[in-house]
Amino acid sequence: MSQLNTAVLLICVALTTGCETTVERGLPPTTTQEERAAKLFEEGRIVESRALFLQAAQINQRPFWSSIGLARCGIARAKWPEVNVAFRQAYASAPKTPEANDLLGRTHLEAAKVATGGVRLQHATTAATLLSAASRQAPEIPGLAYHTGLAELLSNRARNAIPLLEAAIAKDPDDELALQALVVTWKHLGQHREVLQILEPLERDGRLPVALVPELVWARQALPKR
C-alpha cells in the first residue's frame, strides 16, 4: 500500500470515529513560529518557510499547522514523497472537525492542481472525500461547494461537479472562480449549449469575464451550421 493510500485509510477511520460523537468545531491555534513560516511561504521563500515549519513541528506535540505548511512547501517544489510524509503527520495531529477536513481537503486540492497522472488523481479524490465530509457537517464553511466541485472535476467526475459549482454560484453570483469552473466542466463534457446559456446573458449585460471569452467563442463555433 502506498504512503498516500495509507493516508486515505487514516482519513476514513477518522471520519468514521468522528460520526460517533458530538461534532467538534474549529482549528487549533497557530504558534508565532508557524505564522512566520506561513508568511515566508506567501512571500515565495519556500526553502526558508520549510525550515521554520520543520523547527515548529519538532517543538509542537500536535503539529497540525506545521504539517500542513510542510505539505504545501512540498507541493510547491513537487516533492511528492515529502508531501506524503507531511500529510501523514497532519492526519495524526488533526482535530476531528469539519474545519480540519476542509483545510486538509483544500491542501490536497492544491496538490491535485499541479500534479499529473496518478498522483493528481489520488490527491483529487482524497480532496473530494474530505471536502464532502466537511460539507455534511458544516456546509456553511466559505468556499466549500466550489472546492468540492473542483475536486470532483479533477477526479474525473465532471457530472458530480456540476451541482456543487451551481450551488456555489447560487450562493455568490459574483464568484468568478466557480463560474469559470462550471463553464470548463460543461466544455469538458462537450455541452456547448449549456455554455451558451451561462455566458450569453453575461455578455448582454456587459459582465462577461475576459477569461471566459474563448469559451463563448468555442460554444458558438460548435453550434450546428444552419
Domain ranges of the chain: 1-141, 150-226
pLDDT at position 16 is 45
Contact 64, 28 (CB under 8 A): yes
Give 3-state DSSP helix, strand, coil % of the chain, rounded to 5: 75, 0, 25
For residue 125, which of 8, 2, 6 has the smallest C-alpha distance? 8
pLDDT at position 110 is 98
Count, in order, helices (H) and strands (E) of the chain: 12, 0
Amino acid at 29: P
- List the pLDDT tens digit at each of the 226 positions of the chain: 455 555 555 555 455 444 445 778 999 999 999 999 999 999 999 999 999 999 999 998 899 999 999 999 999 999 999 999 999 999 999 999 999 999 999 999 999 999 999 999 999 999 999 999 999 999 999 999 999 999 999 999 999 999 999 999 999 999 999 999 999 999 999 999 999 999 999 999 999 999 999 999 999 997 766 5
Scanning the structure block, which residue is given the C-alpha cell 496518478?
118
What cell does 194 get? Answer: 449549456
**CATH class of the domain at 1-141:** mainly alpha
What cell does 156 get? Answer: 474525473
Contact 188, 152 (CB under 8 A): no
Amino acid at 56: A
3-state SS track over 180-199: HHHHHHHHHCCCHHHHHHHH
**Spacing of C-alpha 132 from chain mean position:** 11
pLDDT at position 8 is 56
Contact 51, 133 (CB under 8 A): no
**Spacing of C-alpha 157 from chain mean position:** 15
pTM: 0.86
